[in-house]
Each structure stands twice: as structure tokens, then as C-alpha cells.
């Protein structure tokens, strides 16, 4: 099971690393083309989400991998789960079910990591 959890951690880290870099570095008008929800938030909020995702991506792998404060890995997984709950809460009323499904998938993976790493 440990190998499966490591694979999930790697997948989550890659997904959130890519998303975090995109949201924290690209201009808003470029982000809107691939992420229409960006129009609903200020640039500062989008940047905050991106930086949170970057920190979560690092935190879900590095502490467990290095053995330095490994409790931070499940804490990061919970943080990413919270981001996904908030994303679902945003997309659901707008009936953006494709986004809700993807967010729910990432939410479940994050909770699996949190459960097995605590």
C-alpha cells in the first residue's frame, strides 16, 4: 500500500505543481482562456490559490521523502483537500460538472494520502 500512496502523492504533486505555477505566474487574460472561473476572482486571489497549490505540491512529498517533519505531508494533503472542497463549492452552483468531477477526484486522492500518512 505504501507504494500506491507514494504514486498518489507523486500524481498530486505534479498536478498541483503545474496548476500552481500556471496560476501564480501567468497573466489573468491568458489564464481566462483555459480557466474561465478566473474571471470570478481578483488577480490576487488567483495568485493566492496558485501559491497555495505550489506549497501543497511541495508539502505533500518533500517532508515524507526527506524524513524532516514528515507530519507535514498529511497536513499538506488536508490543505489541498480544503482547496478542492472550495473549488467544488464554487463550480457546483454554476453547474460546471466537469470541473466538479475533476476536483472531487483530486479531493479523494488528497484524503487518501492524508489518511494513510497520518
Query: Cα 58 vs. chain centroid, distance in angstroms?
Result: 11
The reported pLDDT for the residue numbered 86 is 98
Domain segments of the chain: what residues?
Answer: 8-117
Say if residues 117 and 74 touch (Cβ distance below 8 Å). Answer: yes
pLDDT tens for the 118 residues of the chain, in order: 999 999 999 999 999 999 999 999 999 999 999 999 999 999 999 999 999 999 999 999 999 999 999 999 999 999 999 999 999 999 999 999 999 999 999 999 999 999 999 9
Amino acid at each position: 500500500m505504501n507504494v500506491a500512496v507514494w504514486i498518489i502523492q507523486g500524481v498530486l504533486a505534479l498536478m498541483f505543481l503545474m496548476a500552481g505555477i500556471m496560476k501564480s505566474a501567468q497573466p489573468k487574460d491568458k489564464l481566462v482562456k483555459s480557466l474561465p472561473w478566473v474571471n470570478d476572482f481578483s488577480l490576487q486571489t488567483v495568485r493566492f490559490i496558485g501559491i497555495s497549490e505550489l506549497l501543497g505540491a511541495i508539502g505533500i512529498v518533500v517532508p515524507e521523502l526527506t524524513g524532516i517533519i514528515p507530519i507535514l505531508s498529511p497536513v499538506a494533503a488536508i490543505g489541498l483537500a480544503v482547496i478542492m472542497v472550495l473549488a467544488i463549492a464554487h463550480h457546483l452552483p454554476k453547474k460546471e460538472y466537469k470541473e466538479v468531477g475533476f476536483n472531487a477526484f483530486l479531493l479523494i486522492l488528497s484524503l487518501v494520502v492524508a489518511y494513510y500518512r497520518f
